[in-house]
Structure 1
Amino acid sequence: MFSALRRSASWLVLGFFCSFSTLANTPEPGAIASAQARHIATVFPGRMTGTPAEMLAVEYVHQQFLKWGYKSNTRLFPASYLYNRRDGEKYKQHVTGSMAIAMHKGSSPQQIIIMAHVDTYAPLSDNDCDKNLGGLSLQGIDDNASGVGVMLELAERFKDTPTRYSIRFIATSGEEEGMLGAQDILQRMPLSERKNTLLVINLDSLITGERLYFNNGKNTPVAVRKLTRDRALSIAHQHGIAASTNPELNPRFPHATGCCNDADVFDNAGIPILSVEAADWTRGNKDDAQKRARNKALPKGESWHSVQYDNVPHLDKWLPGQIEARSRDVVRIMLPLVSELAKAG
């Protein structure tokens, strides 16, 4: 089936290495993902690119990969962002980001990449600080411990499963500064690896949004869309899970394509992508920014970048059970989908 793709073409961390060993045998999809997401959000808040929290979180993910028997490594990359002061002055902040990469080796040279960014928002202005956006206390359970949690569950569940195509798991960083980690990955890919990359699956912000969305890129071939986006929606509907795709209510964003995440880097390079997120493309400017109806708990209809809203206690209070339920739903869709695409067996 997947031949169409071929044609288209530290101590703190050490203390928690074994935190989830007892979850490996759980029959409930999503249990590992939600536990990992909660752990990353609460133990490593303020995961801004280049900070100790980001490096410790990346090291934690790396050690999880090693514990499951993967060949894994961490990688550093340069990053920078512009900060705007209240007096009008601007300065460039230079940092060094990090990421963790693990490979599940298949029997053929082709690969599927599954990625999620581990970093949280860094304030870009005095105004951001006034609004309590980003910073050292931002947990980022939605954006994007949730995506990393699902990626880790997929990695744990596939660790002993032979597949035809390799699966590369990547915890990226620098997403909040302009997808810098994803750009570093692409730039380091030799041409042969780009040609052999059948698909990039990006997991980002899976909790707060009203429903799940599966979108491809502007450059993803129709045949691949049927195997990825359409198949994901079919699996979701079989399970009674509310899922959709961008309905193109905003002409800036074509039907069934995503926006503004690490997947864009690979889409622009002509590599097929599948973007997985929770949102509501029918609200606000219909551009994926507003995640649900405005209410007392989420006055702007979203939680991203906000210390006040994107944290475990707040979402547990106002969206009780959502972290577990959404993690379960995403994993229930992604497990059979990735199994089909990678030709597991």
Structure 2
Amino acid sequence: MSRSFRFLALTTAAVLLSSCAAMTDAEVPAAAAPVAGTPSYDQLLADVRILSADDMEGRDTGTAGGERARAYIVARLESLGIAAPPVGRLQPWTLDGRTRQGPKTYNGINILGLVEGTRVPDRYIVITAHYDHVGISEGQIYNGADDNASGVATMLEIAARLKDAPPEHSVIFVAFDGEEHGLLGAKHFVQAPPVPLSSIALNLNFDMTSRAETDGHLWVTGTYQNPTFRPILETVPADGSVSLAFGKDTPQDTGENNWVQASDHGPFFTAGVPFLYLGVDYHPDYHRPSDDFERITPAVFASATELSVSAFRALDRSLDR
């Protein structure tokens, strides 16, 4: 996540497909069969653990680690049976971004999936999460378990749920590249959308969803700009120790406490597309080498994920009525 636009410095399709083919079953684990009526979070946790492992090398844009992360996410979408949209599974882009040393041109690749809606298939909810992080700096790997392997895992969990119970709106899933270098993947998606922007009812962006123990909240940013969404989400009850909280989006919220342009929902907002952002507050491991899988409390992450699923379902039911 580049909430304060701080970051640490540090392909082709054929290469990607060969990387996917080389992955073992252990690297792309199948979800364990849960006890009837009891959700299993084994796959959710496995997704974070694998994406934030040292061999992903911090998933920086344009690196071998970023390519491995992309191959893993593509393989997961394929294993879930999530179709590619007509424009294809991959959306490559070239844009100028930022580093601590100055401007740099990046070549990144967004990953797309599509689930068709049952009630309003020509209206779209775009669910997003960035899969890149800041890579390696001074010999230390910034694994980015919370930022943002967790958001990608949450998105994949929602995708799995929608295969079992289809949504009312069509859903485009996008794993963005280049978020840490200036929201680059999201900017390209908005500039070259696979569907008209006017057909997008909502961008629902997940960035840092696993460490809600800081204050017990999964924060919802964007209801100040889109006030009709708040009554819908206020009906979503807490799950375990985690509840939704609203804010960080008003003119009174300044600096690092204003998240309206802090992650990949920013370009959607700038383009006039309704958006909501769900994520936890800052914690001591944010943008540090210590943002590791072992710092995540599974029960807290599971509760935040259930809240995310419930938030999506409530919005999906209520929009375009």
Give TM-score, length-normalised by structure 1: 0.73
Q: How does 1:1-345 map to 2 (within 5 A)?
A: 10-11=18-19, 14-16=23-25, 19-23=28-32, 25=34, 27-28=38-39, 30-42=41-53, 43-72=55-84, 73-85=89-101, 90=102, 92-107=103-118, 108-121=121-134, 129=137, 137-189=141-193, 193-208=196-211, 210=214, 211-216=217-222, 219-220=225-226, 222-228=227-233, 230-231=234-235, 234-236=236-238, 239-246=240-247, 251-252=253-254, 258-279=260-281, 291-292=282-283, 302-307=284-289, 309-313=290-294, 315=295, 322-343=296-317
Paired residues of 2:124 and 2:200 also in contact (CA < 8 A): yes
- The alignment yields a C-alpha RMSD, in angstroms, of 2.9
Letter matched to residue 202 of structure 2: L
- Secondary structure at the aligned position of 2:143 is classed as coil
Aligned length: 287
Letter in 1 for 2:220: F
- Following superposition, the deviation at residue 217 of structure 1 comes to 5.7
- Higher mean alpha-carbon deviation, 51-60 vs 111-120, is at 51-60
Q: Distance in 1 between matches of 2:65 and 2:174?
A: 18
8 Å CA contact retained: 1:24, 1:32 = no
Structure 1 residues 6-62: Cα deviation after superposition (integer angstroms, max 9, x where no partner): xxxx34762248733242546335443222111111142321111121122112111
- AA aligned opposite 1:68: L
Structure 2 equivalent of residue 126 of structure 1: none
User: Is the contact made by 2:229 and 2:315 (CA closer than 8 Å) also made in structure 1?
Assistant: no
Q: Does structure 2 retain, via aligned residues, the 8 Å contact 1:30–1:331?
A: no
In structure 2, how many angstroms separate the alpha carbons of the residues matched to 1:16 and 1:239? 32
Contact 1:117 1:175 in 2 (8 A): yes
Instruction: Tell me, in whole angstroms, the C-alpha distance in 2 between the residues paired with 1:176 and 1:61.
Output: 18
Distance apart, 1:193 and its partner CA: 2.3
Where in structure 1 are there 5+ consecutive unaligned residues? 1-9, 124-128, 280-290, 293-301, 316-321
| 1:246 partner letter | G
Whether the 8 Å contact between 2:57 and 2:135 is mirrored in structure 1 is: no
SS of equivalent to 1:79: strand
Q: Flag the structure with larger Rg.
A: 1
Q: Is the 8 A contact 2:98 2:182 kept in 1?
A: no
| Sequence identity (%) | 22
Residue 223 to residue 253, structure 1, CA distance change in 2 (3 Å): farther
Verify the 8 A CA contact 1:224 1:272 in the aligned structure 2: no
Partner secondary structure for residue 142 of structure 1: helix
The Cα of 1:164 is off from its aligned counterpart by 2.1
Distance 1:199 1:96, change over 3 A: same
Matched position secondary structure for 1:75: strand
Q: What CA deviation, in whole Å up to 9, does each residue of 1:244-281 have, x standing for no partner?
A: 223669542799964511111111222111111111xx
Q: Distance in 1 between matches of 2:229 and 2:251?
A: 23
CA offset digits 1:291-331 (Å, max 9, x no partner): 24xxxxxxxxx222222x11234x2xxxxxx3412321122
- How far is the alpha carbon of 1:77 from its aligned partner? 0.9
Native 8 Å contact 2:27 2:50 kept in 1: no
Structure 2 gap ranges (5+)? 1-17
Counterpart CA distance in 2 for 1:174 and 1:54 is 10
Distance change >3 Å, CA 251–CA 75, structure 1 → 2:
closer
Q: Please, what TM-score do these two structures have when normalized by structure 2?
A: 0.79
Q: 2:130–2:152: 8 Å Cα contact kept in structure 1? A: yes
